[in-house]
Amino acid sequence: MTARLLDGRALAETIYAEVEAALRGRLAGGGTRPHLATLLVGDDPASATYVRMKQRNCERVGISTSDHRLPATATTAEVVELIRRLDADPEVSAILPQMPMPPQVDAEAVIEAVSPAKDVDGLHPYNAGRLALGAPTVKPCTPAGIIELLRANEVPMAGRRAVVVGRSNLVGKPAALLLLQEQATVTVCHSRTADLPAVCRQADVLVAAVGKTFYIQPDWVKQGAAVVDVGVSRLDGKVAGDVDPGVEEVAGWLTPNPGGVGPMTRAMLVRNTYDAEVRRR
């Protein structure tokens, strides 16, 4: 068999159209325009590219953006002070500190400096805690995008076995919590998991988020499973994921990489920015 592709690009376009229509109606009714403030510390080319893409995605639907930069030598105190100024600005709906931060900057302090209402990534402890409780909250963009992709393609989750490989605060843990909300039975795997291939073979839904090129092998995958490839690495100058290409012959559904989770992450950022403005008004 050949897996059906979980096309993130096509679904992202649908989400952009929905947000654009909602914003057009909001502005016609006298509502306010959302504004995303991005913050980049240093001059890492990949991070700068990600920031530009996020800004363009917002602007295409009518959300305004502003770009804030600090040198690579900036201290934690300098980054936090800038965030506090943006947080106090009534024109700013949402704040996005681009990660990773330089090593001298305390990323946790940066995340906590953003107020929960303007935390567009859903990483603030308040929002992360509400997610753990199953309460309404800002959902982290990548995990939220994964769930949207599975739902849109009618991948069964309720009552099914889901395995998440990776336990990061950014993807692994929140993805597991969102899968629990979909009534899946969830296992979170990591570097100490015994017999990882055997655990993966039990999964009806397998989420790979470890950042190791072609780590998930075809014989690790249950026949007909839905496989979500979150990893991003480079191989011979091209983007590669965590999932070996041979998995396509075993899985029932598979995200392309690129073109699967990445576009959905950016679309969720746009939706979260719009929702942040609606909530605070």
Q: Annotated active-site positions, please?
A: 54, 98, 121
Nearest Cα to Cα of residue 38 among 61, 74, 66, 64? 66
**Which pair of structure tokens corresponds to residue 201?**
């073979």
| Cα-based distances in Å from 9 to 5, 176, 205, 265 | 11, 23, 20, 10
The residue type at 111: I
